[in-house]
């Protein structure tokens, strides 16, 4: 079955829809003639996107801060009021961080958990009764960091691990209810998530430390996600690097820790010491 047939007239909610993967997913769903509810904090961006996507399908926007429970409850209620049902919930809204834990203001981890984890929990809680009625799909967008802790991303990894465990358990609880639960790990994707990543003091990073042009595009990630939703996949992990990391972690965990450290240390202005710095410190200590 083609996606354009499968998604036609389905009611789909996409959080974090104003940019990146969320924007690409909402756009593709509208082109497939789904009825799309787009949610994000930026009302101006939502309104503009709503006007653009309305050329393809019926689309409504609901300003939502997923870290606020009442906003999530309102998002679900507005969806049901308009369309009378929910077929797909895509929990995509999220933020990242970049700092060593020893330097980190704990408010940063609270913020990461509030948006990434609690945003998923709140939206899922209020949408669940309707999704059980339609035997619909719940998607949690995590990351390789939801399977393997990334240095300098303690709050991010913790929140993505939490989503992973939450949705894995939810799937088991409703194993015989026809509910589809998918955990989706795109890997590094070209988006603005690194620009808005929080630093040790809670301020936004502003500039990405990576070459975005070499990453998978948000449009490609969105298309693959919808393919997996149609197939009712349990999990999907993208990019060769991510898949290799998970295999190496199982087989050679200690070696993989070292490889991961040096890989992340290559970022410009990395919070980690470079190999040359460590070797210099060792030589000075031995002297």
CB atoms inside a 10 Å sphere around CB 11: 23
Nearest to 209 by CA among 220, 222, 193, 186: 193
The DSSP letter of residue 153 is -
In 136-158, which positions are buried (b, 16+ CB within 10 angstroms) versus exposed (e)?
A: bbbbbbbbbbbbbbbbbbbbbbb
Give Cα 94 distance to the centre of its chain: 6
Which helix H or strand E contains 189, and what residues bound it?
strand 189-190
Among this protein's residues, is 32 annotated catalytic?
A: no
Q: Please, are residues 141 and 242 in contact by the beta-carbon 8 Å criterion?
A: no
Interatomic CA distance for residues 120 and 115, integer angstroms:
8
Q: How far is CA 5 from CA 134, 172, 201, 248, 264, in A?
A: 17, 29, 48, 39, 42
Q: Please, are residues 13 and 79 in contact by the beta-carbon 8 Å criterion?
A: yes
Residue 261 CB partners (closer than 8 Å, separation 6+): 151, 272
Per-residue tokens: 252: 């050679």
Per-residue tokens: 197: 């990543």
User: Which residue in the list 156, 184, 261, 263 is annotated as catalytic?
Assistant: 156
Residues with catalytic function = 156
């Amino acid at each position: 079955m083609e996606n354009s047939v499968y998604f036609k007239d389905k009611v789909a909610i996409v959080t974090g829809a104003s940019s990146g993967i969320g924007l690409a997913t909402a756009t593709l769903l509208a082109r497939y003639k789904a009825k799309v509810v787009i949610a994000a904090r930026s009302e101006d961006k939502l309104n503009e996107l709503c006007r653009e996507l309305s050329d393809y399908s019926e689309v409504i926007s609901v300003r939502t801060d997923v870290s606020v429970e009442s906003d999530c409850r309102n998002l679900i209620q507005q969806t049901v009021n308009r369309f009378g049902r929910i077929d797909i919930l895509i929990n995509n809204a999220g933020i990242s961080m970049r700092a060593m834990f020893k330097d980190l203001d704990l408010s940063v981890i609270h913020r990461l958990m509030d948006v990434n984890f609690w945003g998923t929990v709140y939206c899922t809680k209020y949408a669940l009764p309707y999704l059980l009625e339609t035997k619909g799909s719940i998607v949690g967008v995590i990351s390789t960091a939801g399977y393997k802790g990334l240095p300098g991303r303690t709050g991010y990894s913790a929140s993505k691990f939490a989503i992973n465990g939450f949705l894995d358990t939810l799937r088991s609880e409703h194993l015989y209810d026809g509910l589809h639960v998918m955990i989706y790990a795109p890997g590094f994707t070209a988006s603005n998530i690194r620009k808005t990543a929080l630093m040790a003091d809670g301020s936004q990073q502003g500039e990405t430390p990576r070459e975005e042009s070499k990453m998978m595009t948000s449009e490609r990630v969105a298309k693959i996600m919808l393919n997996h939703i149609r197939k009712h996949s349990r999990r999907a992990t993208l990019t060769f690097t991510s898949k290799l990391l998970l295999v190496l972690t199982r087989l050679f965990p200690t070696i993989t820790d070292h490889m991961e450290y040096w890989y992340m240390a290559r970022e410009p202005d990395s919070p980690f010491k470079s190999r040359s710095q460590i070797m210099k410190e060792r030589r000075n200590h031995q002297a």
